Amino acid sequence: MRILVVAATAMEVGPLTKAFGASTPHDRLTRYVHRSRDIDVLLTGVGMVAASAWTSRALSERTYDFALNAGICGSFDGAFLAGAVVNIVSDTIAELGAEDGDGFLPFDALELPDDGLRGPKPSCVNARPPDNAALAALPAVSGVTVNTVHGNERSIAKVVARYHPQVESMEGAGFMYACAICDIPFAQIRAVSNMVERRNRSAWKIPEAIEALAPVVLRILETA
């Protein structure tokens, strides 16, 4: 079993990689063997472009049984507070579209030609998740991926009305698109570090989210 774990930063998977032991560095990717599983951990850097580019490169260079995106996220949904770990099964690039005065035209409304290339699309649905009991036990949620994290009451209200997301990240959809294009089973697992609100660093619980994330990801890997 060979698995690719993708994270934006080393911090997000620090407690996880400590459980793996010996490693072999390879560019942005570090290789581990854990309980007879080959686990490659890829650090892409922050943002959807970096996530999609580096994930695509990794998937083109080696064959994996499935890929797992692990990280933190903000929550729009009061049912998922800091420390909650969720499985993001659908993700939308929230800013993909065009301004029309004070309004916003989603990508599909632009009617741009794609010359039969079938892309890009604003939303990605995980139609082929890994068959994994630990993964199936997590709450399945919808997300948005953004270049600019929301921190304004009006913009938060608009994105919630438009897409009804439960969480947001800066990488998720980029990872999902890369996996879908490469036709590999995948999952996006994130722990909530904060509510999406006006920027308030004192309310963030990043260390707590990372600590909550690690054992969940480890269970998924060990039951694969």
* Total number of domains constituting the chain: 1
Q: What is the pLDDT of residues 134-146, one digit of tens each?
A: 999 999 999 999 9
Q: DSSP string of 66-133?
A: EEEEEEEEEES-TTS-TT-EEEEEEEEETT-EEEETTEEEEGGGG----TT-----SEEE-SS----H
pLDDT recorded at residue 120 = 52
- Spatial neighbors of 122 by CB under 8 A, at least 6 apart, are 92, 93, 96, 97, 106, 107, 108
pLDDT recorded at residue 111 = 74
Q: Are 210 and 71 in contact (CB under 8 A)?
A: no
Phi/psi for 119 (5° steps) reads: 175, 165
Q: What is the pLDDT of residues 86-135, one digit of tens each?
A: 999 999 999 888 888 888 887 777 777 665 545 556 688 898 899 999 99
What number of other Cβ atoms are within 10 A of residue 179's Cβ?
28
Average pLDDT of the segment spanning 163-185? 95
pLDDT recorded at residue 5 = 98
For the chain, state the CA radius of gyration.
Answer: 17
- Spatial neighbors of 127 by CB under 8 A, at least 6 apart, are none
Q: What is the pLDDT of residues 7-41, one digit of tens each?
A: 999 999 999 999 987 788 888 999 999 989 999 99
* Domain range for 54: 2-222
Question: The CATH number of the domain where 128 resides is what?
Answer: 3.40.50.1580
Question: Is the omega angle on the peptide bond into residue 120 within 30 degrees of 0, that is, cis?
Answer: yes
pLDDT recorded at residue 21 = 79
pLDDT recorded at residue 115 = 59
pLDDT recorded at residue 128 = 82
In the numeric block, the tokens 């604003």 are attached to 122
Average pLDDT of the segment spanning 194-223? 94
Distance CA 110, CA 22 (A): 50
How would you classify residue 97: left for phi > 0, otherwise alpha for psi between -120 and 50, otherwise beta?
left
Average pLDDT of the segment spanning 197-201? 89
pLDDT recorded at residue 92 = 93
Residue type, 209: A
Q: What band does 214 get if pLDDT is binned at 50, 70 and 90?
A: very high
Q: Which of 24-28, 179-183, 213-217 has the highest mean pLDDT?
A: 213-217
pTM of the predicted structure, to 2 decimals: 0.91
pLDDT recorded at residue 131 = 92
Provide the pairing of β-strand 85-93 with 167-169.
unpaired
